[in-house]
Amino acid sequence: MMSKMRATKPCPQFSEQMSLAMDHQLSAMEERELREHLRACDACQSQWDMLQQIERLFATAPLIGPPAGFAARVSARLAERESRQQILFGVFSLMVGAVILGLVALASLGEIVPSLYLVVTTPAAWRGLAVVMELLSLAESVLNALWLAAVAYVRSPGTMICATYSFVVLVLTALWLHVLTSRLLRPVPVSRQV
Amino acid sequence: MEQEQVWIQQALGGNQEAYTRLVEAYQTPVYNLAYRMLGNAQEAEDAAQEAFIRAYTRLRTYDPTRKFASWLLSIASHYCIDRLRRRRFNLISLEELPPWQGVVSDRLQPEERLIENQKRDAVQALLAALPPHYRASVILHYWYDFSYKEIAEMMDLTESAIKSRLHRAREMLVQAAAQADEDKKPIVAGAAQAVPGGMGR
């Protein structure tokens, strides 16, 4: 007869054996060894008893089912998820389309840029540009001079008298030219020539 | 089993009605796993739904030579483990979670319901003492009778790792029960009175 051991903690070498015994994984000899040890060791026997109680508690705890309508709720969630994915797919497709268009535009630019480079690197192009700039500058000066003359004319005190006099002179000159040209250009009748 | 394969093939072809049949067939095992893992009815409902949706989107990866239940429960347990880890990062304690509700049948008599509640609380108090991976191994072993090999395949671990985890988990369960006894709030003793004798399933 073995004397009882007074250990407070279960023996490590038998702790794993107890777990394997719960799952019927020990050989007959190992089981016998464990049984003998349990009879001799209070701490291991106490652990074994507790393991048995927990085993019984778990073994009799039922499978818990969901509240009614679970399958319908899963279907609804699945449908919602799929519709959201379709929207995301649509947005993604649009973005891919936009990226492709951008790449096509970049490719076109790739063809234009070399031609532009050739023009820019020609000396004649720069000289032509200088001439155009000078002409523009000249046109700007002429327009400025005309603008200043017009402003000075409008702001002078006798503008109305001068304008009326000029208008009358122009009208009288036009009438005189009209009379003169009509007499000079009038055709001579045939009978009088004879 | 043949009917199950027909539903799987139909679901792969885009037939959601067939997938609903699969959900109806496996809703209890999946919900039970989520409930035992998370210890809360609302979270269990959400996690079980999410597990079925993940399974639907990965249905093409299912190998018909494996048991559909193992494949489905593997998805559910991985999802619950991730959820428990996130919960830890979000610093949500068990006390902050909503109370137990809606899982004990209303058809039971008041006394039976009280016993069921005691047992359910005892089981969940013990499971709550385990880290997520250990908890999943224990649940798959006790509630679904999966072998070490099957659990190892489901958890992407070796058989010896599962053996070791179950051993460590049992030690932790005993420690939790002993601690509760010391605190004069016995977990197992009270519930065990309601449990009939006999070993295992």
Measured distance CA(B201)–CA(B143) in Å, rounded:
9
Contact B169, B97 (CB under 8 A): no
Average pLDDT across chain A, whole number? 85
Q: Percent of chain A beyond pLDDT 90?
A: 47
How many other C-beta atoms are found inside a 10 Å radius of the C-beta of residue A59?
15
pLDDT at B82: 96
Task: Please name the residue that has the structure tokens 């006390």.
Answer: B95
- What residue type is B36 in one-letter code? R
Is there a contact between B188 and A60 if contact means CB atoms under 8 Å apart?
no
Cα distance from A79 to chain B (closest Cα, Å)? 9
Say yes or no: ipTM exceeds 0.90: no
Structure tokens at A87: 């929207």
Residue B186 burial (CB < 10 Å; 0-12/13-18/19+)?
middle
Place of tokens 């018909």: B64
> Which residue from B28, B102, B148 is facing A63, i.e. has the nearest CB?
B28
A59 with B20: Cβ contact below 8 A: no
- Identify the pLDDT of residue B100: 44
Is the pLDDT at A71 greater than 80, yes or no? yes
For position A189, what pLDDT does the model report? Answer: 54
What CA–CA distance (Å, rounded) separates B140 from B151? Answer: 7
Tokens (6 digits) for A31 = 């089981």
Closest CB to A70 among B27, B174, B197: B27
Q: What is the pLDDT of residue B107?
A: 64
DSSP B96: G
Low-confidence residues in chain B, pLDDT < 50:
92-102, 195-201
pLDDT of residue A124: 84
In terms of average pLDDT, the best of A121-130, A183-192, B82-91 is: A121-130
Q: Which among A20, A58, A74 is the nearest to B142, CB-wise?
A: A58
CB contact under 8 A, B16 and A75: yes
Beta-carbon separation of B143 and A22 below 8 A: no
pLDDT over 80 (residue A7): no
Binned at pLDDT 50, 70 and 90, residue A85 comes out as: confident
pLDDT digits (tens, 9 = 90+) for A23-49: 999 999 999 999 999 999 999 999 999
Cross-chain Cβ contact A75/B200 below 8 Å: no
Per-residue tokens: B126 = 């013990």
What is the least distance, in Å, from the CA of A24 to any CA of chain B? 11
What pLDDT sits at residue B83?
95
Model's pTM, two decimal places? 0.68
- Residue A151's pLDDT is 85
Query: How far apart (Å, rounded) are the C-alpha atoms in residues B185 and A68?
Result: 34
| pLDDT score at A144 | 93
pLDDT at position A187: 61
Q: How far is A100 from chain B (nearest CA, A)?
A: 29
Asked whether the beta carbons of B112 and B83 are under 8 A apart, the reply is no
Distance of residue B191 Cα from the nearest chain A Cα, in angstroms: 7
Residues A99-120, mean pLDDT to the nearest whole number: 81
Task: Indicate the pLDDT class of residue A142, thresholds 50, 70 and 90.
Answer: very high
Instruction: Indicate yes or no: CB of A64 within 8 angstroms of CB of B45.
Output: no
What's the pLDDT score for residue B192? 57
Q: Provide the pLDDT for residue A184.
A: 76
Which residues 76-105 of chain B have a CB within 8 Å of chain A?
102-103
Compare all CA atoms of chain A with the CA of B194 and give the residue at the minimum distance. Answer: A57
The residues near A64 (Cβ < 8 Å, ≥ 6 apart) are B28, B31, B32, B35, B36, B103
- Residue in A97, A177, A52, A7 with CA at minimum distance from that of residue B170: A52
Higher-confidence residue of A158 and A76: namely A76
B33, A64 Cβ separation under 8 angstroms? no
Judge: A64–B28 Cβ closer than 8 Å, yes or no. Answer: yes
